[in-house]
Amino acid sequence: MYEIVKAHALSEAVFEMWIRAPQVARNAQAGQFCIIHPDGAGERVPLTISGTEGDLIRISFMAIGTTTKLLATLSAGDCLRDVVGPLGMPSDIAKGPETVVIVGGGVGVACTPIIAQAAKDAGNYVIGIIGARNKSLLILEDEMREICDELFVTTDDGSYGIKGFASGPLQTLCESGRKIDKVWIIGPGMMMKVTSGVTKPYGIKTYVSLNPVMVDGTGMCGSCRVVVGGEMKFACVDGPEFDAHLVDWDDLLARQRMYLAEEKESVAYHEE
């Protein structure tokens, strides 16, 4: 059993937990994920490891499905049945000095500090861009401000920071002619598709963290397959980070919608 040591809401939609999982914490690197199985009965949920501290790992999630809604009801002192990880490949962070831009949108912002910190620790100049639909949904601004050399904040409705999407400051940076070596974009599929389109004309190496449906997380079931550069890859073992400019976004977005009806039915059933 894996004890939840701290649990709290980061916004009305996003929750954060610190879980005692010594083996996972000891080996986890930026960009990797774990699979949580809260009670041994429901689905297994892949979640990015968004931080580590001693024996603890941090996970962040949006409570939108049956299992994440269950997770959101748990608090410090409760236990999870299984936490498997670290899974997947670490982020491709080079020794600096490089200039890297880390872009997060919505719940994806939760995964940006660990990459930003790893890039910073490797001697890179780190520019952060974080965005949300509105001010109340913006998370981890203070943490990102502390790590990054520069931070831009956007809200879709202009209630805080720069009005518009996170792609706006990225576009401005690209147009400014500043040297940018690598970009990471983490957020909902459509946001990553659109935002990575900004860097493509400039030939800037851009990574996205893909989040297809996963079951085993070890390359055996095939449920997480994605098409990258015309080749089939398994996000759980070949990723989850891939070259954004090679991802077949239409295929990914279609696969993410495959079980929407079943997910809605399950949520409705458990709320009855």
Binding site for ligand FES (CB under 6 A): 214-217, 219-224, 234, 236
Q: Which is nearer to ligand FES, 113 or 240 (CB)?
A: 240
Q: Which is nearer to ligand FES, 86 or 217 (CB)?
A: 217
Q: Which is nearer to ligand FES, 120 or 233 (CB)?
A: 233
Report the nearest approach of ligand FES to the CB of residue 215 (Å): 5
Report the nearest approach of ligand FES to the CB of residue 149 (Å): 35
Q: Which is nearer to ligand FES, 65 or 217 (CB)?
A: 217
Tell me the C-alpha to C-alpha distance, in Å, between residue 244 and each of 40, 179, 198, 207, 269. Answer: 34, 19, 11, 5, 37
Report the nearest approach of ligand FES to the CB of residue 255 (Å): 12
Q: Which is nearer to ligand FES, 3 or 216 (CB)?
A: 216
Choose among 186, 147, 4: nearest CA to 81. Answer: 4
Partnered with residue 182 across adjacent β-strands are 100, 205
Report the nearest approach of ligand FES to the CB of residue 201 (Å): 32
Report the nearest approach of ligand FES to the CB of residue 243 (Å): 18
